[in-house]
């Protein structure tokens, strides 16, 4: 039967795709829903529709591959042989499907402009100028002649011991240096932003805590607060008159400080608080002595008017 021949002519994968549209080519026989009959004409229509869609999609993908050759050039580091192989294979598939590509020459010249070798780019730029002017070796040239020129130049430059393929130009080196400097500055900027953020977080914590963070008086482990309180309590117990003012606890020697009124590592004679109190007392005592001397001097000083009157009386009595 005709529909059997059609199904046998396509692959298993194609049959799977066609099966999706079976409602469009299978119909009931004589109005009986349970009995389905495949209509060959409808089946052929479905196969041709799917084939046409597949062909258009494939043709577009092949054209996109050729148009994307400039990007492919960067991937293969300007290897002209690989570029030409990719172009020839893709273009051959399009020709086999009866399709073509517009502006093949323009795509090739755009691809050569991406080759990372200044001498090669300059050479192909001159060839492009001749092609556009239709002069010199590029007069009436097609894409095959352009590819031949590019391949010949590429191979000669690769074999030239005095030429380092892919050597960047002075302009390229400047660009590379600027990119490196930009990357460094961006890295430093990110580090600075991170430090500023950390500083801002710390300042915010200080403000929430009531301003500048104060030093803790006791930096012991707070995991066991009960033990810490007991440890601090014995330090406030003053020794009795007949008890020593120094004692050994563990590896440390503790001394009773009369100024702190607590057991401390330092002695009373070395206590900074005691020295400050003594300096303050001395300053107050000196100030009191100075005021007393000034008061005595003012008391013993004779009023000038009274002294003049006494002098006048003495002169008259003489």
- Mean pLDDT over all residues of the chain? 80
Q: How far apart are CA 76 and CA 69, in angstroms?
A: 10
Alpha carbon distance 33, 99 (integer Å):
45
Helical packing angle, 118-133 and 143-159, nearest 10°: 160
pLDDT at 23: 74
Please list the residues that pair with 29 across neighbouring strands: 32
pLDDT band per the 50, 70, 90 thresholds, residue 311: low
- For residues 214-241, one letter each, b for 16 or more C-beta atoms within 10 angstroms of the residue's C-beta and e for the rest, the string is eeeeeeeeeeeeeeeeeeeeeeeeeeee
pLDDT for residue 307: 61
Q: Which residues contact 185 (CB under 8 A, 6 or more apart)?
A: none
How confident is the model over 293-305, as a mean pLDDT?
58
- Min mean pLDDT across 7-21, 25-39, 166-180 is at 25-39
pLDDT reading at 105 higher than 80? yes
Closest CA to 129 of 146, 104, 151: 146
What is the predicted pLDDT for the residue at 108?
97
Residues 259 and 307: their CA atoms lie apart, in Å, by 55
Closest CA to 67 of 14, 127, 108: 108
pLDDT(160) > 90: yes
Neighbours of 265 (CB within 10 A): 10
Report helix angle 118-133 to 104-112, nearest 10.
Answer: 150
pLDDT at position 222, please?
A: 58
Please, which pLDDT band fits residue 302 given cuts at 50, 70 and 90? low
| Range of weakest confidence among 135-139, 150-154, 277-281, 304-308 | 304-308
Q: Which residue has the higher pLDDT, 112 or 58?
A: 112
Tokens 């009595």 -> residue: 317
Q: Which range has the worst mean pLDDT, 1-5, 86-90, 164-168, 312-316? A: 312-316
- Name which of 56-65, 135-144, 291-300 the model is least confident about: 291-300
Is the pLDDT at 31 greater than 70? The verdict is no
pLDDT of residue 295: 59
pLDDT given at position 310: 60
pLDDT for position 180: 80
Higher-confidence residue of 256 and 222: namely 256
Beta strands 32-38; 246-249: pairing state: unpaired
Q: Which of 228, 210, 211 is nearest to 219 (CA)?
A: 228
Closest CA to 123 of 163, 83, 175, 68: 163
Using alpha carbons only, how large is the chain's radius of gyration in Å?
Answer: 52
- pLDDT attached to residue 6: 75
Name the residue with higher pLDDT: 24 or 64.
64
pLDDT the model gives residue 312? 64
Contacts of 315 (CB under 8 A, 6+ apart): none
Indicate the pLDDT class of residue 161, thresholds 50, 70 and 90.
very high
Beta carbons of 72 and 61 less than 8 angstroms apart: no
Element (H, E) at 230: helix 225-233
318: its two tokens: 């003489």
pLDDT band at 13 (very low <50, low <70, confident <90, very high): confident
Q: Give the whole-angstrom CA distance, residue 230 versus residue 216.
A: 18
CB distance 102 to 151 below 8 Å: no
Q: Which residue has the higher pLDDT, 30 or 193?
A: 193
CA neighbor of 109 nearest in space, from 73, 81, 139, 135: 73
Tens digits of residue pLDDT in 196-254: 777 776 666 655 555 555 555 555 555 567 777 777 788 888 888 888 888 888 888 98
118, 172 in Cβ contact below 8 A?
A: yes
- Phi and psi dihedrals of 254, rounded to 5? -105, 140
104 falls in which pLDDT band (50, 70, 90)?
A: very high
Return the half-sphere exposure (C-beta side, CA atoms, 13 A cut-off) of residue 192. Answer: 6
pLDDT given for residue 183 in this prediction? 80
């Amino acid at each position: 039967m005709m529909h059997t021949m059609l199904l046998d002519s396509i692959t298993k994968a194609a049959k799977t795709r066609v099966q999706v549209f079976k409602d469009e080519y299978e119909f009931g026989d004589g109005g009986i829903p349970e009995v389905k009959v495949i209509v060959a004409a409808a089946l052929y229509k479905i196969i041709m529709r799917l084939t046409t869609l597949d062909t258009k999609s494939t043709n577009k993908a092949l054209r996109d591959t050729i148009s994307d050759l400039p990007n492919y050039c960067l991937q293969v580091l300007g290897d002209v042989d690989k570029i030409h192989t990719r172009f020839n294979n893709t273009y051959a598939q399009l020709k086999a499907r009866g399709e073509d590509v517009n502006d093949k020459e323009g795509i090739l010249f755009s691809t050569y402009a991406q080759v990372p070798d200044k001498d090669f780019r300059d050479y192909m730029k001159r060839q492009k100028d001749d092609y556009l002017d239709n002069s010199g070796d590029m007069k009436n040239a097609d894409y095959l002649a352009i590819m031949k020129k590019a391949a010949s130049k590429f191979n000669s430059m690769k074999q030239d011991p005095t030429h380092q393929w892919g050597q960047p130009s002075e302009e390229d080196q400047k660009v590379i240096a600027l990119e490196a400097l930009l990357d460094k500055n961006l890295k430093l900027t990110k580090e600075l932003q991170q430090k500023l953020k950390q500083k801002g977080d710390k300042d915010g914590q200080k403000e929430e805590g009531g301003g500048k963070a104060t030093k803790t008086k006791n930096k012991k482990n707070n995991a066991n607060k009960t033990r810490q309180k007991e440890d601090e309590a014995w330090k406030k117990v003053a020794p009795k008159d007949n008890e020593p003012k120094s004692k050994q606890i563990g590896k440390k020697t503790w001394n009773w400080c009369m100024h702190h009124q607590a057991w401390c590592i330092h002695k009373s004679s070395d206590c900074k608080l005691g020295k400050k109190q003594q300096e303050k007392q001395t300053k107050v005592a000196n100030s009191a002595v100075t005021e007393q001397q000034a008061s005595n001097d003012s008391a013993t000083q004779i009023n000038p008017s009274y002294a003049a009157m006494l002098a006048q009386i003495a002169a008259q009595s003489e």
